[in-house]
Amino acid sequence: MIKGSPWDTMDKWVSEYGTMFTFHLFGSDAICVSDPECLKVILQTKLSMFKKDVDWTYKPFMVLLGNGLVTAEGHSWRSQRTLLANHLKFDILEEVPQMALEAVTRLCSKLDAVALSGNSIDMAEEFRHMTLQVIAKALLSLAPEESDQTFAHMYLPIVEEGNLRTWHPERMYLPTPSWFKFRRDVERLNSYVEGLIQARRTLRAAEKAGTVPTARHQDVLDKMLSSLEGAPWTNDVMTQVRDGIKTFVLAGHETSASMLTWALFELSLDANSAASQHMLDEAARVFASSKDAAGRIVLVPGREVINGEGGLTYSECCLRESLRKYSVVPTVVRVAVQDVEVQEYSVRRGSTLMINIQGVHHNPKYWDEPFTYRPERFLRPEDIKPYTFLPFIEGPRMCLGQYLSLLESKIVLSVLLATYRFEVVNIAEASEKHAFMVPIIPKAGHFMKVHRR
């Protein structure tokens, strides 16, 4: 499993052994599941009989996730999801188009300079920073400059070390320089986020007392704090809010960045020129009245237009196809909390189940020519078999942030392709995925030359 990409290894095993098999890993047996009917049982019909694997796969990331929405179980999970469902699915989406336009406009300023210089730029890294700016503003109303100077420097190294620890667990215990650096990074991030929370509580108290104006944008942190009004503010409550914020930052930008990275890469290849042209035609229609005298897109329609019929439909198909082909979250893990029947299989209590998302996405039984990039697959979503497209999981624990992610990303991708032509310069390495980083990122970055249209 650690000699190459573990996800590709499991993919290979699916073709050899089928959609349900066991293998030995780190001293115990794991069950690899990529059968849609079995996945429906695990992720929906018998959801309560399985829990997140916080003792192994999530363990290196618990310093970020804590007891947030991703890892919480039972009452804690239900209360957090109920609190945030409407905000993440509806309220905040009204603000996302403008946030996305502001973020991509900042990126365009940098790309203009790159185009003039003739140099190349790593778009994978740029997308990580840009999506981090958007989620930091949506959650905490942070300015992009503060996001770059704080979260980007504190957060990204923790994610990278967490991925290393997943496949090299000894890094969690050996007192190496990287071990001490990781601990310092976590302490610094916790202190920073707690400072933001405390400052917001102080501001809200002043607003309530009438000593400062109250005409202020209400972000996700405000929603969280509003739900806690009247309850005692304890260290445990602070930890809960802090972990919730960190969870949203991790889940809210990494997948979006990876999705954009692979979609732009595919649309920059000559083999996908028809798809790229389809996107250009769509963007020209949707943004026809949104340009200034210089031809720049300076206005973006509202969510209803973007998501509606005649909106950025094909752009979303391009993003979904990148999620399928590259399976940016290739697997998630569950643990059986009791003996349970999964279709015709008996699963014992304590069994580790690897939900092999990539194995489903690459199965020719469900996807014709699975290694071909073909956005048209998603033009008729009703034709997609349930539990065969799982980038955001399905069932009650389906990712709430997918609505924000897809809305933001299709605006960004459309504006970029309408403004520039991208040329991949490290074409030999660019298609190679990093062996173990999750979400899946290119091993050597995506270095591109940029040409104004």
The two beta strands, 28-33 and 20-25, are antiparallel
Residue 89: the pLDDT is: 65
DSSP 385: P
Residue 90: the pLDDT is: 64
* CB neighbourhood size of 281 (10 A): 11
The total domain count for the chain is: 1
The answer to whether position 165 is within a domain reads yes
The answer to whether position 312 is within a domain reads yes
Dihedral Cα 285, 286, 288, 290, nearest 10 deg:
-170
The answer to whether position 1 is within a domain reads no
Residue 86: the pLDDT is: 67
Q: What is the largest CA-CA distance in the chain?
A: 69
Residue 79: the pLDDT is: 76
Residues 210-252: tens digit of each pLDDT:
898 878 888 889 988 988 888 899 998 899 889 888 888 777 7
Residues 349-408: tens digit of each pLDDT:
999 999 999 999 999 999 999 999 999 999 999 999 999 999 999 998 888 888 899 999
- Whole domain around residue 424: which residue ranges? 6-452
The answer to whether position 90 is within a domain reads yes
Residue 431, CA distances (Å) to 5, 58, 389, 398, 425 in order: 14, 27, 22, 29, 12
Give every CB contact of residue 19 below 8 A, 6+ residues apart in sequence: 33, 34, 35, 38, 359, 363
- In the block, tokens 């007891």 appear at 67
Task: Kindly list the averaged pLDDT for each block of 10 residues, start to end, along the chain of length 453.
Answer: 83 94 85 97 95 82 76 75 68 86 95 96 94 90 87 81 83 92 92 95 92 84 86 90 83 87 97 96 92 85 91 97 94 94 95 95 96 96 95 89 92 96 92 85 93 92
CATH number, domain at 290? 1.10.630.10
The answer to whether position 406 is within a domain reads yes
Residue 87: the pLDDT is: 65
